[in-house]
Structure 1
Amino acid sequence: MGWEYKTVLMVGCTAGLGVAMAERMIEAGSFVIAVGRRKERLDAFLEKHGGDKVAVEQFDITDIEAVKGWAEGIVKAHPRLDCVVLNAGIQRPCNFARPEAIDVDLVRKEIDTNYTSYIALTAAFLPHLQALSRKGRGAALVAVSSGLALVPLPRCANYCATKAALHALVWSIRAQLRADEKSQGVKVIEVVPPAVQTELHELQEDMRAAGLANIGITIEEFMKDCWPGLENGDEEILIGPIRENFGTLEDGRRKAFARFVSTVPK
């Protein structure tokens, strides 16, 4: 099938998986709109690849009320946008055995970054992607979740909950668009990575103290699974250890979900 999307919005494109996916898409001929909060990293990305291949957008996706207007500006500036990749995420410890240490403001920030912003961004960009679909053009929405959506890890309870919510949301969005004749051309893809050696862990004090700042597979190993899945048009891309250890874990849930979809009113 091959990678077919020509203009890609990459949310969370200042480090880690976002940069790796974006650079591979550039190699495949895509123009990438790199989105993130850290201007110096966006500027470095633009300098590395050049304005003929990259545009940069400094934006905080947790400013939920600003998302709709910002997205409208993106579509106006880049009307050929045909793929939106939602990749931003933060992870922090959340231990209910020490409830006095739980920072509710940080919990909310984690929810907004990992989940609420994905809803806002999806709602904001889908009308454009649906319009492309009605014109017979391919379009895609890609969400990066986590293997912790399938099996949670107690140390980062809230992070796991946000990713589990995102995982369920992606299943539902995919089914809704598939059931709508005017939206069937919009492919909904979920990338489900294991722990990967990125800033996600390096930024957490307890992970550094435990010597786990570099836990996980390398970004190169992530891309060895991720990119073929994206090229093949797979709807759910389980990466490395997640595929090997949990690849059949949700078979029963998928069957139950299919029954729901076929029998329960949309």
Structure 2
Amino acid sequence: MRNTTRLHESRTPAPAAGQGKGTAVMSTLALVTGATSGIGRAFAERLAALGHDLVIVGRRKERLEEFAASHPEVGVRTVAADLSTDEGIDTVAEICAAEPLTTLVNNAGVSHYMPLDELPAGKARELVHVKVVAPTMLTRAAVAGMRERGEGAVVNVAGMIAFSGPAPHSQMPRRAVYAGTLAHLVAMSQTLSAELEGTGVAVQVLCPGVVATEFHERQGLDLSAVPRMSADDVVTASLRGLELGETVCAPGVEDAGLLDAVFRAELAAFGGQSHRLATRYRAA
């Protein structure tokens, strides 16, 4: 049975700040999806510590409210929404379009790890909605205002599995739909970054490896013996990557030249095409 969309909004106002005569304080506003745990929660915590007002989105209303109550120093608006549904996506997209966001973090995810022929239709649909449709529609809604204001940042949380397509079956289990959704985020972010060049709006796709969160536990996977990066370190990499101007941020890849080599090869293949049929496809 498909999940029922749960929509709930509440707002904790930011405390009044003393201002000197004639002094205006500009607030920054970040929207984070999947903010109730893991990387999303770490983003919300860090952005609050930096003084950003927040719109936090997740399925678990009680966790959202707990976060808001524990951060009275900033304004926190909570939105309980299910991004696996059109209703949930539309609700959050309306907020992205209406509010003067300075940062959008598309972090929400679902952990449906299984081969395509074993993936139930409902889970496949949920995965594509959460990791493809939601980031696309939320980014679309937010970017127009960011561009008009001449500033902003969009962070799409993907993962290194986005680059795992060429791996043989013996090297890693197949997760065709999951890997495909993350690869979509990489290509969309890179192309959108080029579209927005010179506008003051930055786009980043964040590609961590295995992270120590509840994500794998919900899939029934015990990765306690696997070395994992902390969610806090992932956020540190993302924010530093934005400062460095990185479109693709891979927190665990020490040699950034490896990523550059991948992208140069992709562009070489793109540029190497012709209207003529390649020799290997011609009859002997």
TM-score w.r.t. length of structure 1 = 0.78
- Rate the CA distance shift 1:32–1:243 in 2: closer, same or farther, 3 A: farther
Contact 1:43-1:56 at 8 Å conserved across structures: yes
Q: Tell me the residue number matched to 2:139.
A: 122
Q: Which stretch of structure 1 is more off in the superposition, 238-247 or 109-118?
A: 238-247
Q: Tell me the residue number matched to 2:29.
A: 7
Structure 1 residue 186 corresponds to structure 2 residue 194: no
Contact 1:8-1:81 at 8 Å conserved across structures: yes
- Rate the CA distance shift 1:225–1:176 in 2: closer, same or farther, 3 A: closer
Structure 1 residue 195 corresponds to structure 2 residue 195: no
Q: Tell me the residue number matched to 1:87.
A: 107
- Rate the CA distance shift 1:63–1:158 in 2: closer, same or farther, 3 A: same
Contact 2:31-2:54 at 8 Å conserved across structures: yes
Shift of 1:126: 2.1
For 1:68 and 1:159, the matched residues in 2 are separated by 23
Residues 135-158 of structure 1: per-residue CA shift (max 9 Å, x gap):
xxx112111111111124534222
Higher RCO by CA contacts (8 Å cutoff, separation 6 or greater): 1
For 2:179 and 2:102, the matched residues in 1 are separated by 30
For 1:13 and 1:30, the matched residues in 2 are separated by 14
Shift of 1:176: 2.2
Residues 219-252 of structure 1: per-residue CA shift (max 9 Å, x gap):
2432443332234443221111475795344142
Q: Unpaired segments of 5 or more residues in structure 2? A: 1-25, 166-171, 273-284
Q: Tell me the residue number matched to 1:247.
A: 259
Q: What percent identity do the matched residue pairs reach?
A: 27
For 1:242 and 1:198, the matched residues in 2 are separated by 22
Contact 2:202-2:242 at 8 Å conserved across structures: no
Greater helix percent: which structure?
A: 1
Residues 102-156 of structure 1: per-residue CA shift (max 9 Å, x gap):
31211111111111111111222222222212xxxx1121111111111245342
Q: Tell me the residue number matched to 1:166.
A: 185
For 1:37 and 1:86, the matched residues in 2 are separated by 14
RMSD: 2.9
Which has more radius of gyration?
A: 2
Contact 2:39-2:232 at 8 Å conserved across structures: no
Structure 1 residue 24 corresponds to structure 2 residue 46: yes
SS in 2 for 1:200: coil
In structure 2, what residue type is equivalent to 1:145? Answer: A
For 1:17 and 1:126, the matched residues in 2 are separated by 22
For 1:217 and 1:72, the matched residues in 2 are separated by 34
Shift of 1:52: 3.2
Q: Tell me the residue number matched to 2:9.
A: none
Structure 1 residue 42 corresponds to structure 2 residue 54: no
